Amino acid sequence: MNEPSDVRAADVLCRPTALTALALWCVNDHVLKYAYPGWLTGKLSDVASLIVAPLLAACLFDLAFPHATARMRRKLFLLALVAIGALMFSVKLFDSAAWAYRWGLGLLQWPFRSLTGLLADGSARPLRAVQLAMDWTDLLTLPALIVPWWLRARKSSGDVCAQIVAGDDHVGVQAP
């Protein structure tokens, strides 16, 4: 078993807390925000994204540097935490950062929207910016960055992916 200092981000992402945050982020963005627009749903996605995004970034680091040492992975994870926090801080306060976010994310979404459009009606979609509310009170959710740090720091107890395999091993090996 990995020591806490040698944890892979993908393992942390499979833990119930992270999976719950990911599910909440997804459902809140695409269902709850439209059904119940307001302060709470606005902040929920911020909290959930601050939990999941650093883990995702760390996963990508792990994929990019598969032979990185545990120490290096730990440093990259901390870097991801700082980078996500800095991104959140800047896009909520600075117009230029918000502009870059709107168009950058719009650029990332564009291939998928165009593909959907091509399949639906045969026409590609124009490149568009995405919505971003520059609400400084969203920065109050920044302490949520403690959660991914805490998840990675503590010993694994709930890797859902691992439990599927573990269940296979445990069932049926009891003494008669």
Partner 1 sequence: MSTYNPQRPTPRLRWLRARIAALGKPAILLLGIGTSIATSPEEPFTRSSRDVGSVALGSSRHVVVTLSQSMRNEAFEVIISFTVGKDAAETQVQVEPDKPGWPVVVRTLVPPATPGARGELDIDAPEVGSSLPADAGSPEEVPTVFLQYNLRSVACDPETAASHPKYCADWHQLGAQCADHGPCRLGFTLTVLNTESTLDTEFNFGAAALRYDETEWGLKCTAQTDFTDKATIEAKFDE
Residues found near partner 1 in the complex (CB under 8 A): 10-11, 13-14, 19, 22, 25-26, 29-30, 34, 37, 45, 49, 52-53, 55-56, 59, 102, 105-106, 108-109, 112-113, 126, 128-133, 160-162, 164-165, 167-168, 171-174, 176
Closest approach of partner 1 to the CB of residue 23, in Å? 9
Closest approach of partner 1 to the CB of residue 155, in Å? 19
The CA R_g of the chain, rounded to the nearest whole Å, is 19
Closest approach of partner 1 to the CB of residue 120, in Å? 15
60: left (phi over 0), alpha (psi -120 to 50) or beta: alpha
What is the amino acid identity at position 131? Q
CB neighbour list of residue 101: distance below 8 Å, 6 or more residues apart = 87, 91, 130, 132
Nearer to partner 1, 70 or 105 (CB): 105
Give the residue carrying structure tokens 């991914």.
148
Nearer to partner 1, 113 or 153 (CB): 113
Q: What angle do CA 127, 132, 138 make, to 5 degrees?
A: 160
Closest approach of partner 1 to the CB of residue 146, in Å? 19
* Structure letter (DSSP) for residue 15: S
CA 33 to chain CA mean position, Å: 18
Nearer to partner 1, 122 or 172 (CB): 172
Nearer to partner 1, 25 or 74 (CB): 25
